[in-house]
């Protein structure tokens, strides 16, 4: 396992019922929100789903993340069940025993370089430079 910026410890309450790491919601394609995890590690005490669509335009990206045990399908359409193609769920350069995408849902996205840039720190997280304005604590 590599050095991680964040560690998510997914501990399920029910041994045979996988939980969810995320439940992101966007009610329209114009909503600018979403979750981007880069350089993280997801581990736990059993299989877990990466996310479920809280709303039809749910958007979650895992990039360069270590996955211990992820369900084979990885993602659940939930409230986007009528048209899961409206969601943006992606895994990019992930590693670990749970990173095998061969059995993931067919509507998981393969993002191009330009689409990935849209979700980079500079473009997505800090586009209005709010992080640069945070006070420095010494």
Give the number of other Cβ atoms within 10 Å of residue 50's Cβ: 27
More confident: 47 or 122: 47
User: Can you give the residue ranges of every domain in the chain?
Assistant: 6-128
Residue 59 near residue 24 (C-beta atoms within 8 A): yes
Which DSSP category does 133 fall into?
Answer: G
pLDDT tens per residue, range 7-42: 898 887 777 788 899 999 988 999 888 999 999 999
Class of domain 6-128 (CATH, top level): mainly beta
Q: Which of 11-20, 25-34, 87-96, 105-114 has the highest mean pLDDT?
A: 87-96
How much of the chain exceeds pLDDT 70, in percent? 95
User: Average pLDDT over the chain, rounded to whole?
Assistant: 87
| Cα separation, 44 vs 47, whole angstroms | 8
pLDDT band of 4, cuts 50, 70, 90: low
Q: What tokens were used for 7?
A: 């560690």
Residue entry with tokens 């399908």 = 73
């Amino acid at each position: 396992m590599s050095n991680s910026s964040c560690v998510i410890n997914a501990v399920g309450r029910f041994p045979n019922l996988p939980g969810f790491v995320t439940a992101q919601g966007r009610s329209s394609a114009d909503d600018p929100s979403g979750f981007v995890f880069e350089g993280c590690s997801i581990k736990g005490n059993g299989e877990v789903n990466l996310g479920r669509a809280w709303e039809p335009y749910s958007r979650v990206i895992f990039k360069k993340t270590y996955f211990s045990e992820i369900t084979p399908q990885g993602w659940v359409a939930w409230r986007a069940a009528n048209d899961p193609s409206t969601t943006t769920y992606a895994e990019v350069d992930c590693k670990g025993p749970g990173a095998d995408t061969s059995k993931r849902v067919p509507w998981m996205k393969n993002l191009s370089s330009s689409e990935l840039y849209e979700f980079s720190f500079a473009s997505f997280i800090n586009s209005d430079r709010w992080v640069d304005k945070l006070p420095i604590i010494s």
